[in-house]
């Protein structure tokens, strides 16, 4: 069975884009062997169930509230994952990662080996914004954690021979372009709903 490296989250919401930016960077940095799928899961929620059923081992990058120092990394394995991501919804009809895992288990063939590489977000309230520096700085280390984990399953990753674009990210949404083309503060109003933002802060 192929291995999976999956990034989840919405890249339009600042640090919420961590997971997707990780897989974008992953595909830029490594040559992807045939034994590995690298996927930008976005906020597809329930639709990600199949990925967890069709791959093993699985590495998931995500921005998660662990109650840690913002910008810090935490790594969680297997049966501990649902508890850490409980209440955290991956958008699709409010199906969270724990529901996605539960569905895969109910269908009887969820991956046995799963690793969650989570970052504690700094900023989520900035719609149209990008990763904050503290979160962005954690991408290289997060990739290395995934690399080590996959090596434990015999998947040896090699660096790309020469710099190449990421085959994973949707064209037009590449990190650099996403940041460079952002409308300036004056033309783009970036306020939000106090109730929703309060919830985000409490996250």
Partner 1 sequence: MAIQTPNGFTLDDSGRRVVVDPVTRIEGHLRIEVNLDDDNVIRNAVSTGTMWRGLEVILKGRDPRDAWAFTQRICGVCTGTHALTSVRAVEDALNIDIPENANIIRNLMQLALQVHDHIVHFYHLHALDWVDVVSGLSADPKATSELAQSISRWPKSSPGYFKDLQSRLKKFVESGQLGLFRNAYWGHPAYKLPPEANLMATAHYLEALDFQKEIKKIHTIFGGKNPHPNWLVGGVPCPINVSDTGAVGAINIERLSHVKKIIDQCRQFSEQVYLPDLLAIASFYKDWTYGGGISGQNVMSYGDIPDHANDYTADNLLLPRGAILNGNLAEIHEVDQRNPEEIQEFVPHSWYSYADESIGLHPWDGVTEPNFELGPNAKGTKTHLEALDESAKYSWIKSPRWKGNAMEVGPLARYIIGYAQGNPEFKEPVDKVLTDLDLPVTALFSTLGRTAARGLECVWAADKMDYFYNKLIANIRNGDVATANTQNWDPKTWPSDVKGVGFTEAPRGALGHWIHIKDTRIENYQAVVPTTWNAGPRDNEGNIGAYEASLMDTPMAIPDQPLEILRTIHSFDPCLACSTHVMSPDGDELADIKVR
Which residues of this chain interact with partner 1, rule CB under 8 A? 9-13, 16, 39-50, 53, 63, 65, 86-96, 98-99, 102-103, 105-108, 121, 124, 127-128, 170-173, 177, 181-184, 187-200, 202-203
Q: How far is CA 164 from the centre of its chain?
A: 21
Least distance between partner 1 and beta carbon 152 (Å) = 27
Using the minimum distance from each CB to partner 1, give the nearer residue, 152 or 170: 170
Residue by residue, DSSP assigns 149-175 as HHHTTT---EE-SS----SSSPTT--H
Q: How far apart are CA 74 and CA 63, in angstroms?
A: 10
Q: How far apart are CA 32 and CA 51, in angstroms?
A: 17
Least distance between partner 1 and beta carbon 16 (Å) = 5
Least distance between partner 1 and beta carbon 27 (Å) = 12
- Could you tell me the sign of the dihedral formed by the alpha carbons of 117, 144, 71, 130, in that order? negative
Question: Within 10 Å of residue 89's Cβ, how many Cβ atoms?
Answer: 15
Using the minimum distance from each CB to partner 1, give the nearer residue, 93 or 162: 93
Do the beta carbons of residue 74 and residue 66 sit within 8 Å? yes
Supply the Cα-derived Rg of the chain in whole angstroms: 16
Pairing of strands 2-8, 36-42: parallel
Least distance between partner 1 and beta carbon 148 (Å) = 27
Least distance between partner 1 and beta carbon 160 (Å) = 18
Using the minimum distance from each CB to partner 1, give the nearer residue, 99 or 147: 99
Angle between helices 18-29 and 139-151 (to 10 degrees): 60
Using the minimum distance from each CB to partner 1, give the nearer residue, 106 or 151: 106
Using the minimum distance from each CB to partner 1, give the nearer residue, 152 or 192: 192
Least distance between partner 1 and beta carbon 154 (Å) = 26
Using the minimum distance from each CB to partner 1, give the nearer residue, 93 or 154: 93
């Amino acid at each position: 069975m192929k291995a999976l490296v999956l990034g989840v989250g919405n890249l339009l919401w600042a640090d919420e884009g961590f997971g997707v930016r990780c897989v974008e960077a992953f595909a830029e940095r490594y040559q992807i062997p045939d034994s590995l799928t690298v996927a930008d899961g976005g906020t597809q929620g329930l639709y990600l169930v199949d990925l967890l059923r069709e791959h093993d081992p699985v590495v998931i990058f995500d921005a998660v509230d662990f109650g840690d120092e913002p910008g810090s990394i935490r790594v969680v394995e297997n049966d501990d994952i649902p508890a850490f991501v409980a209440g955290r919804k991956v958008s699709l009809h409010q199906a969270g990662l724990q529901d996605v895992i539960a569905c895969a288990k109910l269908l009887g063939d969820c991956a046995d080996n799963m690793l969650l590489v989570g970052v504690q977000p700094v900023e989520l309230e900035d719609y149209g914004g990008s990763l904050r520096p503290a979160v962005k700085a954690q991408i290289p280390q997060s990739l290395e954690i995934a690399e080590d984990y996959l090596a434990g399953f015999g998947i040896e990753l090699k660096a790309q021979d020469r710099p190449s674009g990421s085959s994973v990210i949707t064209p037009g949404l590449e990190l650099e372009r996403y940041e460079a083309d952002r409308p300036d503060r004056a033309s783009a109003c970036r306020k939000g709903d106090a109730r929703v933002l309060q919830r985000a802060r409490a996250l």
